[in-house]
């Protein structure tokens, strides 16, 4: 393969040149960059770098993809293969920089190869941060970033925060792990007044805490922490360490969960800008500098002058119940998002108005149907035990549809803590042994069904039939898998869609009118 090298400007070292690249207007021409991965993020990185004049080589799997056909169109080159070894073409290319797409394990052979050779590795987030001045705000400064992470609730909190900012009159883009690459957001020609950036632990792993390229968010939050993605990070400690990066260099407000001591410790240990405040939230009464609930009223006791003696009303639990937003974990997300929005200067009136029209995404505690007193709920987005716990705790009696890829996480504690509210369990997934054993240990008398079909189209119809055979009036049949979906489905959305479709087909015309509305 012909991979000619392009001469770079005169710098003492590649490291010095990379340190100089802190603006869209810096000289990126001829920089040799390898992009590992061709998903949404990888393609955005390649597209951005070629626009800047860099010499880009994309490494992608051998699987055919529409994006692969576009690589040469945007001016980059493509090297396809299984990526289980370092391609010869990459060695010949001799990159100055490697951009790693989220999802590639830290011990991936290409990343280890780069580390041994002293080749800098960035994620898409650092690249976007360095380029954030492409379309400045009206003041001439880059749009500030608000960062959101946590084991669960990231997307809902990101959407809530963006909705609050938009209601407050700001042009805002929710982006990052939510589905829109940050690199696409910063290149949007209309520009933004703020970016609300959802960050996964994978992305945070590559974010540096200090020095050139480190982020300086206006406000940041880690919503909660529970073991997840241990197969990727290698340990719970490494996972928590990645999440804690969200608070580094925060300028105005580090928002943390008072009910989760780990997030409070993260804030306490973070190196932040002078004057940055720690803002707590939980479902209890707020102290000064907190958000919380008093007599059913959601309160801001942080962003007001007399916070030692008074608070400002944001909304009420009764109002949220009318919108299907009163589940405890959703209320917690609302409080966290309110704190982020208030840190950005949004008024409480705007937050109250926004809550009047905000809707949760599909597959997040979404009511599919009500029939004969049984509620059928799709929470396919509950892809880990922590998320499933929140969903289970919102219901008193549950027929639980559970299972999938557990990602190295122990399911035993979740089963043990929730058996008292279970009417029955329906186990799905290719490997059901861990769940089967947990139910046998902690609830030997509980009716437990297993869906052993390997046909994706048959999994949910079978699960629904099993659930319907035991569900009684007052029960919730709850799809909260506590696991990833890729063993049997394309993603959690397909899993939820197929569940909802199977429910509606099974019930036929037997569902109450409420089935048309969702939480």
Q: Where in the chain is the domain with CATH 3.90.190.20?
A: 366-508
Residue 388: count of CB within 10 angstroms of its CB: 24
Q: What's the CA gap between 471 and 375, in Å, rounded?
A: 9
User: Is 224 known as a binding-site position?
Assistant: no
pLDDT of residue 234: 59
Burial class (CB in 10 A: 0-12, 13-18, 19+), 483: buried
Closest by alpha carbon to 200, among 281, 101, 129? 101
Name the pTM for this structure: 0.78
Q: What's the CA gap between 200 and 330, in Å, rounded?
A: 19
User: Is 152 known as a binding-site position?
Assistant: yes
pLDDT of residue 24: 97
Question: What is the fold, at CATH topology level, of the domain defined by 128-355?
Answer: 3.40.1190
- Which CATH code, of 3.30.450.20, 3.90.190.20, 3.40.50.2300, 1.20.140.10, is assigned to 366-508? 3.90.190.20
pLDDT of residue 5: 38
Please name the residues in contact with 147: beta carbons below 8 A apart, sequence gap of 6 or more: 197, 199, 215, 217, 219, 220, 221, 246
pLDDT of residue 512: 52
The Cα-based distances of 489 to 374, 429, 459, 485 in angstroms read: 26, 10, 10, 5
Q: What's the CA gap between 299 and 313, in Å, rounded?
A: 5
User: Is 155 known as a binding-site position?
Assistant: yes
The pLDDT tens digits along the chain (519 residues) read: 333 434 445 678 999 999 999 999 999 999 999 999 998 999 999 999 999 999 999 999 866 577 888 999 999 999 998 888 999 999 999 999 999 998 888 889 999 999 999 999 999 999 999 999 999 999 999 999 999 999 889 999 999 999 999 999 999 999 999 878 999 999 999 999 999 999 998 899 999 999 999 999 999 999 999 865 555 555 778 889 999 999 999 999 999 999 999 999 999 999 999 999 999 999 999 999 999 999 999 999 999 988 888 999 999 999 999 888 998 999 999 999 999 999 999 999 999 999 999 988 778 888 899 999 999 999 998 988 888 988 898 888 999 999 999 877 789 999 999 999 999 999 999 889 999 999 999 999 999 999 998 899 999 999 999 999 999 999 999 999 999 999 999 999 999 999 999 999 999 855 553 433 332
- Which CATH code, of 3.40.50.720, 3.40.640.10, 3.40.50.2300, 3.30.70.100, is assigned to 14-122? 3.40.50.720
Q: Where in the chain is the domain with CATH 3.40.50.720?
A: 14-122
- 253 touches 345 (CB < 8 A): no
Q: Where in the chain is the domain with CATH 3.40.1190.10?
A: 128-355
Q: Which helix (H) or strand (E) holds 279?
A: strand 277-281
Burial class (CB in 10 A: 0-12, 13-18, 19+), 135: middle
- The CA angle 239-245-246, to the nearest 5 degrees, is 110
- 450 touches 463 (CB < 8 A): no
Q: What's the CA gap between 303 and 291, in Å, rounded?
A: 9
Question: SS3 for 496?
Answer: helix
Both tokens of 150, joined, read: 């946590």
Sign of the dihedral through C-alpha 128, 129, 133, 137: positive
């Amino acid at each position: 393969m012909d991979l000619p090298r392009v001469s770079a400007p005169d710098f003492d070292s590649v490291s010095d040149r990379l340190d100089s690249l802190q603006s869209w207007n810096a000289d990126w021409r001829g920089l040799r960059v390898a992009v590992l991965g061709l998903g949404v993020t990888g393609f955005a990185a390649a597209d951005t770098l070629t626009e800047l004049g860099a010499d880009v080589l994309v490494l992608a799997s051998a699987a055919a993809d529409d994006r692969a056909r576009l690589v040469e169109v945007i001016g980059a080159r493509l090297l396809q293969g299984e990526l289980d070894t370092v391609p010869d073409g990459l060695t010949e290319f001799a990159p100055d920089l490697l951009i790693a797409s989220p999802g590639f394990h830290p011990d991936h052979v290409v990343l280890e190869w780069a580390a041994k050779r002293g080749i800098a590795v960035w994620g898409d987030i650092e690249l976007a941060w360095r380029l954030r001045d492409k379309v400045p705000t009206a003041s001439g400064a880059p749009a500030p970033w608000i960062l959101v992470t946590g084991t669960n609730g990231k997307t809902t909190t990101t959407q809530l925060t963006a909705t609050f900012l938009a209601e407050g009159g700001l042009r805002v883009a929710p982006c990052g792990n939510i589905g829109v690459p940050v690199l696409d957001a910063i290149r949007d020609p209309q520009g933004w007044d703020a970016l609300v950036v959802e960050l996964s632990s994978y992305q945070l792993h590559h974010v540096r805490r200090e020095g050139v390229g480190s982020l300086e968010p206006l406000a940041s939050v880690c919503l909660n922490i529970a073991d997840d993605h241990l197969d990727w990070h290698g340990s719970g400690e490494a996972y928590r360490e990645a999440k804690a990066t969200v608070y580094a260099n925060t300028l105005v407000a580090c928002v943390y969960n008072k009910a989760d001591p780990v997030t409070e410790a993260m804030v306490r240990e973070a190196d932040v800008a002078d004057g940055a405040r720690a803002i707590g939230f939980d479902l209890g009464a707020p102290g000064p500098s907190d958000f919380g609930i008093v007599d059913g009223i959601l309160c801001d006791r942080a962003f007001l002058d007399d916070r030692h003696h008074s608070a400002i009303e944001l909304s009420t639990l009764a109002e949220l119940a009318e919108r299907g937003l009163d589940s405890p974990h959703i209320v917690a997300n609302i409080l966290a998002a309110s704190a982020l929005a208030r840190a950005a200067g949004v008024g409480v009136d705007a937050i109250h108005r926004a809550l009047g029209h905000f809707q949760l995404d599909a597959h997040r505690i979404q009511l599919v149907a009500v029939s004969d007193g049984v509620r059928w709920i799709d929470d396919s987005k509950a892809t880990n035990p922590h998320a499933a716990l929140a969903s289970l705790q919102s219901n008193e009696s549950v027929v639980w549809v559970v299972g999938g890829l557990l990602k190295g996480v122990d399911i035993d504690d979740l089963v043990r803590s929730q058996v008292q509210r279970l009417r029955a369990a329906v186990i799905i997934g290719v490997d059901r042994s861990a769940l089967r054993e947990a139910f046998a240990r902690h609830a030997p008398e509980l009716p437990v069904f297993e869906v052993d079909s390997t046909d994706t189209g048959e999994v949910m119809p079978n699960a629904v039939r099993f659930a319907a055979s035991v569900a009684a009036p007052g029960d919730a049949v709850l799809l909260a898998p506590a696991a990833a979906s890729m063993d049997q489905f394309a993603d959690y959305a397909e899993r939820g869609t197929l569940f909802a479709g199977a429910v509606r087909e099974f019930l036929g015309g037997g569902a109450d009118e409420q089935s048309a509305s969702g939480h």
